[in-house]
Amino acid sequence: MMNEAIPNLTAFDEAALDKAFASLEAQARESAAALDVEAFRLKWLGRKQGLLNEVSDGWLKAAPGPAKKAVGQRFKVLKELVEALLEGAGPTEAAADAALRAEAIDISLPGTRRLTGSEHPITRTLNEIVSVFAALGYSVGVGPEVETDFYNFECMNFPPGHPARDTQDTLVVAAQERKPLRDRLLLRTHTSPVQMRTMEQQPPPVRIVIPGKVHRNDAADATHSPIFHQVEGLCVDTNITFSDLKGTLDHTMKALFGSAVKTRFFPSFFPFTEPSADVQISCIFCGGKGCRKCKQSGWIELLGCGMVDPAVFAFAAEKQSAYDPKKISGFAFGMGVERIAMMKYGISEIGSFFAGDMRFLGQFA
């Protein structure tokens, strides 16, 4: 029995054949529109159940001798139609060209705008500090973050067992117990080692400013971080006095915070300077009247400084004899970059600098 989609052909005259094959052609066109390519191929050209095989077996082979030619001619036309429909079931060349044009890039259009980055507030503040000293004739010194005990402590007049070593909360590299103390490695707690490395390589006069990252084993809180940044400075020449130090730092504070800022110096202690001083500036938030920021004092402590201790020059003289403390003098200072940035930009949490929050950093773009 024939497939229900192919009716039995009972008459083989011209009119009956035309009507029967016209019905199949219409059915083929409907299938091509409704089915995907593979389903259409299987329905009409499948080897076992394809409709053309059904037509060949049921109509062409069953036709009486005189009608075989007429049936064969119409069958050939139907087969060519099915193959043409199958070939046209995929995208036409025109449609493919249109798709390619839709995907093409119009190079005459403006490109997608790339957002421009900006300096991190720490980098910005650090560069601003360095630029102030560069204008005074200072060069920039750099050095390793992993230092030896000698450069970080000993040559800075921190002898073994000195209580000032305990205040640095040092992060040391493990498994170095067999090394001499001066050769043991640690993460530098200040940028002062660069001062000694510079003096060992360069005779006076020296004027350097040393920006860099330092590490201390401090618990993180609103104002402390185990990683932070410092800018230290060193000036060595003949007849350098404490007045030179005061004038330099007063100029720097005015350049950073405005010409109305005042400075004052209080005695302090640092192993590598003598005499030593803490520097305070008049409160930039209340103008020295007293507020919560300055604890009602009108002053904010900002950095430390002092005249270079002769013992430090003695270490430098081991490689550069020109550092004779009887002939030269110098001053040194150091300030925390984060602290200055927090004051300049009104930031209350030091952790904001390191959190990577784009909402925070975007304020400085």
d(CA 186, CA 153): 10
**Residue at 8 is within a domain:** no
CATH number of the domain residue 184 falls in: 3.30.930.10
Mark whether 239 and 151 lie in a shared domain.
yes
Mean pLDDT by runs of 10 across the 365 residues of the chain is: 62 79 82 78 76 78 79 82 74 51 71 79 94 96 94 90 73 89 92 95 95 89 87 95 96 94 94 94 89 89 95 93 93 95 89 86 81
pLDDT at 1: 42
Mark whether 72 and 125 lie in a shared domain.
no
Mark whether 181 and 207 lie in a shared domain.
yes
- Which of 52, 71, 103 marks a domain boundary? 103
**Residue at 322 is within a domain:** yes
pLDDT at 306: 96
- Which of 70, 103, 136 marks a domain boundary? 103
SS3 per residue for 181-215: HHHCEEECCCCCHHHHHHHHHCCCCEEEEEEEEEE
Mark whether 96 and 155 lie in a shared domain.
no
Whether the CB-CB separation of 5 and 43 falls below 8 Å is answered with no
Mark whether 253 and 172 lie in a shared domain.
yes
Mark whether 240 and 343 lie in a shared domain.
yes
Mark whether 244 and 337 lie in a shared domain.
yes
3 state DSSP class of 42: helix
- Which of 71, 103, 135 marks a domain boundary? 103
pLDDT at 156: 93
pLDDT at 140: 96
Mark whether 64 and 141 lie in a shared domain.
no
3 state DSSP class of 264: strand
Mark whether 221 and 341 lie in a shared domain.
yes
**Residue at 3 is within a domain:** no
pLDDT at 241: 95
Which domain covers residue 43, as residue numbers?
Answer: 14-103
The number of distinct structural domains making up the chain is 2
Nearby residues of 254 by Cβ (< 8 Å), 6 or more positions away = 261
Task: Count other Cβ atoms within 10 Å, centred on residue 51.
Answer: 20
